[in-house]
Structure 1
Amino acid sequence: MIDIKHHGAITGVTGSCHELVLDQKISVLIDCGMFQGAESSGSESSILQLDFPIDTVKALFITHCHIDHVGRIPSLIAAGFNGRVYASKATARLLPLVLEDALKIGVTRDEQLISQFLKLLKKRIQPVEYKQWYSVDSIKGLRFRYKPAGHILGSAYIEFEYNQEIIVFSGDLGAPYAPLLPAPESPWRADRLIIESTYGDKVHENRRNRRKQLEAVIRHCLKDAGTVLIPAFSIGRTQELLYELEDIIHRQKGAAWQDIDVIVDSPLAAKFTAHYRALSNLWDAEAKARKANGRHPLSFVQLTTVDSHSEHLKLVNYLKSSGRPAIVIAASGMCAGGRIVNYLKALLADARTDVLFVGYQANGTPGRDIQQYGPAGGYVFFGNECIDIKAGVHTISGYSAHADQKDLINFVKRMHHKPKEIRIVHGDSEAKRILKKELARVCPTSKIHIP
């Protein structure tokens, strides 16, 4: 009897890791992500540790390369896993960059150790095409297929076929009208479905409204000669924002708009943006049309990237003292580390500053605290340092790379053969509870539960 075990993303939205158990001796993992925020104790060991045996694990399947889905891969390999790592072609290309950065920040600066790990990882990675069935050499009878999930470049949901049963792992599904990437299409059939629920209790603003909100924040920045700080994940959100900002600036008249600085202060994000440009064959029809018309959605005149740490520190001080309007996109997306922290420390107490959240902020992260307490003039702690919040604080949920409640329900609703069993993971308790209730209306005969 096939079993499914969950080793993360069941008490929140991070640490995604699921085990498909085919028999007592053979299983595979779907993702192996890092815990973040309140979902970890905060110690390096708890963030990276594996608290489950891996002696039966023969292969690892990656849905996409966000750190909460891949961050524990180094621990998995260190624990003795020697199987294949399957990923879409784009994910296979991006994964080493993500893990190199994660190792440098959270584990070691030893270049030789990192190099050895990356060399080993690249030997294990098996890139696969979308929409093609593949067999797993070491597992008789198991087939799998990757399909675009529309979440970030290379993201996929995975269909497994074993003993005439189809089991689907959604990974993180994208919103249908997100910039750059095509919307995910539902599978024809799923006997069992493991589905994310990040926004299982919410419906995003439509794209036109969120673009208006983004434009309004920038107008405020131009008027007050302040800085807009956008904490964003290096891959996915950053590129979508650049795409939208290019279009907003393209439509405006006046020198102020043409002179505004759009700054990506993240070497990793800059590398990912280059890969997004190189893989433009995976863009949606709208993005391809803009490129065909001679526009450069991810490489426009106002865009500047910051590489070195010394440049970064100079820019923070310059923006603090100059009052020059600028839009800064920097990691981390939840303000738990990275270069965005220096900007927040320097600029949160300045009323000319605006902080714009465009992605989910997990419980226990500084991002959630700023989002929750900032509008009332509260404060936030970075380590032991308390920073007053006088900046404007805005949230545009429509720029989330995650599907909302309506999209998640449609993903299931549009299946021709509905699941006999649905497991709801990767969400806060309320989001999972509400999504379960709504899915019960769509699939009244399905067994729906929250692990």
Structure 2
Amino acid sequence: MSETFPRIDHHGAVQGVTGSCHQLWLTEHDSLLIDCGMFQGAELSNAGAGAGKLEIEFDLASVRALIATHVHIDHVGRLPWLIAAGFKGPVHCTEPSAMLMPAVLEDAFMLGVKRDRALAERFLSHVEPMLNGHAYREWVPVIERDDLVCRVRFRQAGHILGSAWVEVDIRYPASGAKHRIVFSGDLGAPHAPLLPPPKPAWQADVVVLESTYGDRQHEDRRTRRDRLQKALESALSDGGTVLIPAFSIGRTQELLYEIEAIISTAKKRKKRGPGKALDWENLPIILDAPLATRFTTLYRELKPWWDKEALRRVREGHKPLGFEQLLTVDSHDKHMAMVNRLAQTRQPAVVITSNGMCSAGRIVNYLKAMLHDPRHNVLFVGYQARGTPGRDIQEHGPRGGWVELDGERYDIRAGIETLGGYSAHADQKGLVRFVTGMRHWPKQVRLVHGDDGAKQRLGGLLRDAARRKGHDMEVVIPEH
């Protein structure tokens, strides 16, 4: 860009896929933060970009507002540290995100700051007045001065409920200069359960684009549901448990939606004649994650933001997030009892539990009790970041390797399978379309939130597309 402002500093999601935090400088003394997320896995110890520490390492004097694209912890989890560092500005997000965020921040506080419920509640009482929920497509004024006008708009991203990509409109009245900058946040896959798909912006000067799956394609919705059903039927045939590590918000609710559809179809087939060996109608689906249960309840309360298909299924009498076989486990004692029972009996069961990368949470207890037994299976349905136990199990499990959990080695004899199509992120085709589908292409695309290979592959495709269309578009992969 020829002018000094606006410009962008990246404080996270540069050397990997977590810790999203981008500072948009509007003037020498004014900036916005777009997301402020936690780092996870190996990215906790990588050098640069603030990785390896939760403290805020950049000056907040210029930050006028935090713009939150969605409530996943790798996008908003450092808000407690942001406030501790002195941030007092507003937090702008969508209406559903404003409803979901307190639960996310409470969990982030309890895990990362101090496991003190009273202190967490005091923190939330401080944060909640800062939250400003807005309707999709509504322009929100952030700064209105004689020398600077800045407004933002949230658009459907289809990643989790309330997720958005963000348009930032900037005007400098004195010079008449105008700029439109788009931050993709995390873009969802097309035809994802519950959510409408993302659509490209009309125009932008700069696009800051995630690249998580910039080097691969997803399966279509029908294929992945069929694969999910076949994987579960095969895994459960020997009386074992299928463990599905899933993050509490987004992935868990999509899985429940798909499993309810599989069960519903199986019931219809049973009425028409003999069904498969697996008794879907009586198979327990166990949600063993208190936070996920809380979010699932919130998802049910946020039906107005579901897509048309999901609302149609509700009108037809389906209960996508609250069907008969869905069992929830609340207390730690009941959780440990469930782990022991499923490890020792031959009752087929599906357990959805957190966290999604097996680095903490109740999934760790299940893995310790079951990884050594070939009767059980671990089914991965989401991205596993480098340095997480999930990535180690995914890579070494099929070769009979081991994984370290809480400082001890555990042999992997359980079956390991990955369903790549069950991603909440757009694939390579969707990411390219987000840029090339614009009526007026950007002058610059900045690739973040992806491994090096994914960014390089996606960058090459975008450059090729620009050359074919005769567009003067720069693709940048920031190093910090």
TM-score normalised by the shorter chain: which range applies?
over 0.9
Once the two structures are superposed, what CA deviation does each residue of 1:124-180 show, in whole Å capped at 9, x if it has no partner?
111111001110156640011000100000000000000221100000000012111
Shift of 1:413: 1.2
Structure 2 residue 289 is matched with structure 1 residue 289: no
Q: Offset at 1:110?
A: 2.1
- Residues 376-391 of structure 1: pairs in structure 2 closer than 5 A: 376-391=399-414
Match in the other structure for 1:325: 348
**2:426 is the alignment partner of 1:373:** no
Shift of 1:106: 2.1
> Which of these residues, 22, 44, 48, is aligned with residue 26 of structure 2?
22
- In structure 1, the partner of 2:235 is 221
Contact 1:153 1:276 in 2 (8 A): yes
Give 5+ residue unaligned stretches, structure 1. Answer: none
Deviations 1:206-253 (Å, cap 9, x if unpaired)?
112211211112112331111000000000000000000001111113
- Return the match for 2:117 from 111, 115, 118: 111
Q: Choose which of 117, 120, 131 in structure 2 pairs with 1:125.
A: 131
Q: Say whether 1:62 aligns with 2:85.
A: no
Structure 1 residue 199: deviation in Å?
Answer: 0.2
Q: Indicate if the aligned counterparts of 1:222 and 1:256 stay in contact, CA closer than 8 A.
A: no
Which residue identity is paired with 1:250? S
Shift of 1:54: 1.0
State the match for 2:438 in structure 1: 415
Give the whole-Å Cα distance in 2 for the aligned partners of 1:112 and 1:178. 38
- Pair 1:93 & 2:107 matched: no
CA distance in 2, matches of 1:310, 1:53: 44
User: How big is the shift at 1:28?
Assistant: 0.6
Choose which of 244, 250, 253 in structure 1 pairs with 2:258.
244
Residues 446 and 45 of structure 1, relative CA distance in 2, 3 Å threshold: closer
Deviation at 1:45, TM superposition (A): 9.7
Q: In the aligned structure 2, how far is the partner of 1:111 from the partner of 1:291?
A: 36
Write out aligned runs for 1:4-19 (5 A): 4-19=8-23
SS in 1 for 2:279: helix
CA 1:194–1:104 in structure 2 vs 1: closer, same or farther (change >3 Å)? same
**Paired letter, 2:189:** A
* Residue 283 of structure 2 corresponds to residue 269 of structure 1: no
State the distance in 1 between where 2:112 and 2:373 align. 31
1:50 Cα offset (Å): 1.4
The one-letter amino acid paired with 1:153 is: L
**Aligned mates of 2:287, 2:16 — CA distance in 1:** 29
Contact 2:12 2:51 in 1 (8 A): no
1:143: which partner in 2?
151
Secondary structure (helix, strand or coil) at the match of 2:52 reads helix
Match of 2:37 in 1: 33
TM-score, structure 1 length as denominator? 0.98
Structure 2 residue 356 is the aligned partner of structure 1 residue 356: no
2:162 to 147, 154, 157: 154
- 2:224 pairs with 1:190: no
Q: Which structure would you say has the larger Rg?
A: 2
Residue identity in the other structure for 1:159: E
Structure 1 SS opposite 2:445: strand
1: distance between equivalents of 2:119 and 2:229?
Answer: 45
SS of match in other structure, 1:397? coil
Which of 184, 209, 217 in structure 1 is aligned with 2:223?
Answer: 209
Contact 1:63/1:158, CA 8 A, preserved across alignment = yes
Q: What is the CA–CA distance in structure 2 between the aligned matches of 1:101 and 1:358, rounded to whole Å?
A: 23
CA distance in 1, matches of 2:448, 2:325: 40
Whole-Å separation in 2 of the counterparts to 1:142 and 1:9: 25
- Measured in 1, the distance between the counterparts of 2:187 and 2:140 equals 22
2:243 partner SS: strand
CA RMSD of aligned residues (A): 1.5
How many aligned residue pairs are there?
A: 451
Which letter does structure 1 place at the counterpart of 2:157?
A
Give, in angstroms, the shift of residue 87 of structure 1.
0.8
Deviates more, 1:245-254 or 1:117-126: 245-254
Q: Distance in 2 between matches of 1:426 and 1:14?
A: 7
User: Quick check: 1:181 aligned with 2:204?
Assistant: no
How far has the Cα of 1:113 moved from its partner? 1.9
Instruction: Report the counterpart of residue 230 of structure 1 in structure 2.
Output: 244
Deviation (angstroms), 1:77: 0.3
Instruction: Give the secondary structure class of the aligned counterpart of 1:394.
Output: strand
The residue identity in structure 1 corresponding to 2:389 is P
CA contact (8 A) 2:143 2:149 kept: no
For 2:190, the aligned partner's letter is P
**Unaligned regions of 5+ residues in structure 2, if any?**
172-177
- Say if 1:336 and 1:366, in contact at 8 Å, map to a contact too: yes
Equivalence for 2:175: none
8 Å Cα contact 1:36-1:47 kept in structure 2:
no
Structure 1's consecutive aligned runs of 4 or more residues displaced over 3 angstroms after TM superposition are: 44-47, 137-140
How many Å separate the matches in 2 of 1:49 and 1:356?
Answer: 34
Aligned-partner SS, 2:12? coil
SS at structure 2 position matched to 1:411: helix
Matched residues in 1 for 2:236 and 2:457: separation? Answer: 40
Contact 1:168–1:192, Cα closer than 8 Å, also in 2:
yes
Residue identity in the other structure for 2:37: G
Note the alpha carbon deviations across 1:282-304, whole angstroms, 9 max, x for none. Answer: 11111111111011111101101
**Aligned partner (choices 67, 75, 83) of residue 81 of structure 2:** 75
Give distance in 1, aligned partners of 2:410 and 2:225.
Answer: 30
Give me the whole-angstrom Cα distance separating, in 1, the residues matched to 2:265 and 2:118: 48
